[in-house]
Amino acid sequence: MRTPAEVMSRQHHDRWQVVSRDVERLARGDGQLIVGPWLSELGFEVLYWIPFVTWLQRRFELAPERLVVVSRGGVSGWYRALGGTYLDLLDGFTEDEFRHHTEERWQSVGGQKQMAFGPFDREALRRVGLDVDRHGRGVLHPSLMYNLFRGFWRGRDPIASVIQRTAYDRLRAPDWPELVARLPDGEFFAVKFYARPSFPDSLENRAVVRRVVERLAERAPVALLQTGLQLDDHREFTTSPAASGHEIFCPLQGVPADRNLEAQSAILGRASAFFGTYGGFSYLSPAYGVPSFAYYSVPEHFLRSHLAVARRAATQLGSSITLVDARSSPALAIAGL
């Protein structure tokens, strides 16, 4: 009789066979190959989806000129290594429309994960000028990745099931002369705290955020990556720190929704370090070679499996991610402050 681990190994193998057949079929075509649309969390996009698609392209020799990548927020730079064309969903939706459709999809499918090609996927592609049938033929859809890696996220497959089918490349900070001109010369810190289950909006966490910003500003200027946008369920912490020796500034004022992630990447990629909520942005900064200090206060609400992958990826990219428990009195010291 096989052990549970051997059974899961067979299940993972079977899922990979399905993915492999689908990608081989797509690779045999000669028309456009749609990558996306990406409608889920930033963290999964950075940590799993883009590295997975990058690996698939190399494994199956997908021609760059065939690829049409669909995501949101001006993140063409994240996909630069793939080549091809980038289309932005926020060119086809207003901010309110996108949020409304996203919330409807979450309620319909019970979460953010794109486990299947659904009506909103098709509508999103239609909004950016891409017409596909209801089955999503000709689409390299995120459901392939979600279904393949779910065994790892559930603690049933080893980390090798992810590492063997992902490829991590260092990103280059986007060129945005007008925005970069707002940044200080020399060292500065990028800060982005937002509420999520592992770091909820509480008086205690607000006090931690304020102290972190104040302590950082004693050393160097601080760029607060506050957009004022509400495109998902993450609400930003707004901070009003006390006066300090260095500037605390918000360089994202006036940045449009369809370029908000591009703008944040342009700043993040030039920062000396990132400090913020443990989650998507704490995974993004190491991709630019920027060390990340990621805060949490409710450990039950994040998966250690994600952290293990994030740390491996950061090491590969010559960077690091340090997890900081905001409940601990020496939390600021742990973060090197």
Q: Is the pLDDT of residue 321 over 70?
A: yes
Q: Which 3 state secondary structure label does DSSP give 199?
A: strand
Model confidence over 32-82: pLDDT tens digits? 999 999 999 999 999 999 999 999 999 999 999 999 999 999 999 999 999
pLDDT per residue as tens digits for the range 229-285:
544 445 676 665 555 667 899 898 888 888 999 999 999 999 999 999 999 999 999
Could you give the domains of the chain?
4-163 (no CATH), 178-334 (3.40.50)
Give the C-alpha distances (Å, rounded to integers) separating 291 from 69, 169, 272, 273, 314: 28, 16, 8, 5, 8
CB atoms within 10 A of CB 154: 11
**pLDDT at residue 269, as a whole number:** 97
Percent of the chain with pLDDT over 90: 69
Question: Whole-structure pTM over 0.95, yes or no?
Answer: no
Q: What is the pLDDT of residue 110?
A: 76
Which of these, 262, 314, 322, lies nearest to 295 by C-alpha position?
322
For residue 99, the 8-state DSSP code is H
Q: What's the rounded mean pLDDT across residues 143-172?
A: 95
Runs of H (alpha helix) within the chain: 4-28, 42-44, 50-60, 95-109, 119-127, 142-153, 160-163, 177-180, 203-217, 260-268, 280-287, 304-316, 331-334
For the segment 291-305, the average pLDDT, to the nearest whole number, is: 92
Q: What is the pLDDT of residues 102-126, one digit of tens each?
A: 888 888 887 788 999 998 999 999 9
